[in-house]
Amino acid sequence: NTINFNGGNLLISDAASQSYGNPLTVNANATLTADRTTAGAGVTYTFGALGLTNDPNLTIATGTGATSG
């Protein structure tokens, strides 16, 4: 199922890399923040295809738990 992101902030946080596989459609200006549940090196989060509807701005941010790379 497609994840419809209608603006705001989506916080993803885990101690290990995760693969969700779902397509992600951004419908309004939004921020996706990748973080960790415990402090340490950043991890990778993978989704399916990325769709942008209505020309939104998508900002990718790092949370405070990711302390390096």
33-66 pLDDT, tens digit per residue, is: 999 999 999 999 999 999 999 999 999 999 999 9
Q: What is the pLDDT of residues 2-44, one digit of tens each?
A: 999 999 999 999 999 999 999 999 999 999 999 999 999 999 9
Which is it for strands 66-68 and 40-41: parallel, antiparallel or unpaired?
parallel
Q: What pTM was estimated for this model as a whole?
A: 0.84
| Residue environment code for 14-31, b if the CB has 16+ CB neighbours within 10 A, otherwise e | eeeeeeeeeebbbeeebe
CA distance 61 to 31: 7
CA distance 55 to 69: 29
Contact call for residues 34 and 63 (beta carbons, < 8 A): yes
